Amino acid sequence: MDAPSLLKLLEQIKEGRISPDEAVARLRHMPFEDLGFAKIDHHRRLRAGMPEVIFSQGKTPAQVAQIFKHMAANGGNVLATKASRTHFQAVKKAVHKAQYRELAQAVTLQQDGATYGKGKVVVVSAGTSDIPVAEEALVTAEVMGNPVAHLYDVGVAGIHRLLANTKVLEDARVVIVCAGMEGALPSVVGGLVHVPVVAVPTSVGYGASFQGLAALLGMLNSCASNVSVVNIDNGFGAGYVASMINRL
């Protein structure tokens, strides 16, 4: 149920072909089209102008494919995160144009090519191991219609690498910073830019990193005031928040 369909429905009322009461009934009915295990809310895209999203982890390939197909039928972009190649293969059979972004572990379907973001979303990451999360953020921002750029492997222990690349940061309207271990990068980046920074702790590290807890706490206590934080490894959330900001 996307905008054109809604328009069509409302025009049918105007033309007297269906009664307002019937229209209400249809509208009420449509968003909750019941698949047996999940109510897909097409209204969500209508409301937000955002793509529909599936969190694949813990779902079978068949489930992901079925939901993906239903979503695709609504005409917008679709994104399945934390998707394995096996998930992708099931989706691919159902929706041929679906693509797999290996690094980001994401399946995408780009049916709407419009640019919604008013500036550039720049994704920064601290180490090589943080790249999967950073890529998930990047792909999310792309699917949501933002120009993107990235700056990877610029951890704080080699501060000159970051400083040698501040040019990329200056172009950003929103910055996403992904880091594991001590999670210090958002504080440093936050001090260098004058735009909002969305920080993503990653579960990269061992021992006292406690699966990303150290990085999470570090970011929540950032001494840079323009930093806000999303869940550990939540590249999607960061990409989504950044896209929301970039549309303003």
Residues 122-181 touching its own copies, rule: CB under 8 A, are: 126-129, 131, 152-161, 163-164, 173-174, 180-181
Rule CB under 8 A: choose which of 8, 17, 28, 167 binds its own copies: 28
Tokens of 107: 């399946």
Residue with tokens 């980046």: 189
The verdict on 32 binding its own copies (CB under 8 A) reads: yes
State how far the Cα of 177 lies from the Cα of 244, in Å rounded to an integer: 16
* Least spacing, CB of residue 237 vs its own copies, in Å: 6
Rule CB under 8 A: choose which of 109, 134, 143, 216 binds its own copies: 216
Binding to its own copies, residues 94-113 (CB under 8 A):
none
Smaller CB separation from its own copies, 35 or 97: 35
3-state secondary structure 107-173: EEECCCCCCCCCCEEEEEECCHHHHHHHHHHHHHHHHCCCCEEEECCCCHHHHHHHHCCHHHHHCEE
Are the CB atoms for 141 and 242 separated by under 8 Å? yes
The verdict on 210 binding its own copies (CB under 8 A) reads: yes
Query: Is residue 17 classed exposed, middle or buried when 0-12, 13-18 and 19+ CB atoms within 10 A define those classes?
Result: exposed
Smaller CB separation from its own copies, 19 or 57: 57
Residues of the chain by 3-state class (helix, strand, coil), percent to 5: 50, 15, 35
Rule CB under 8 A: choose which of 12, 89, 110, 228 binds its own copies: 228
Smaller CB separation from its own copies, 101 or 173: 173
The verdict on 91 binding its own copies (CB under 8 A) reads: no
The verdict on 21 binding its own copies (CB under 8 A) reads: no
Decide the pairing of beta strands 52-55 and 99-101: unpaired
Are the CB atoms for 122 and 150 separated by under 8 Å? yes
The verdict on 117 binding its own copies (CB under 8 A) reads: no
Q: What single string gives the DSSP state of each residue in 54-70?
A: EE-TTS-HHHHHHHHHH
Rule CB under 8 A: choose which of 61, 76, 145, 196 binds its own copies: 196
* Least spacing, CB of residue 161 vs its own copies, in Å: 6
Smaller CB separation from its own copies, 10 or 41: 41
The verdict on 114 binding its own copies (CB under 8 A) reads: no
The verdict on 77 binding its own copies (CB under 8 A) reads: no
β-pair partners for 227: 197
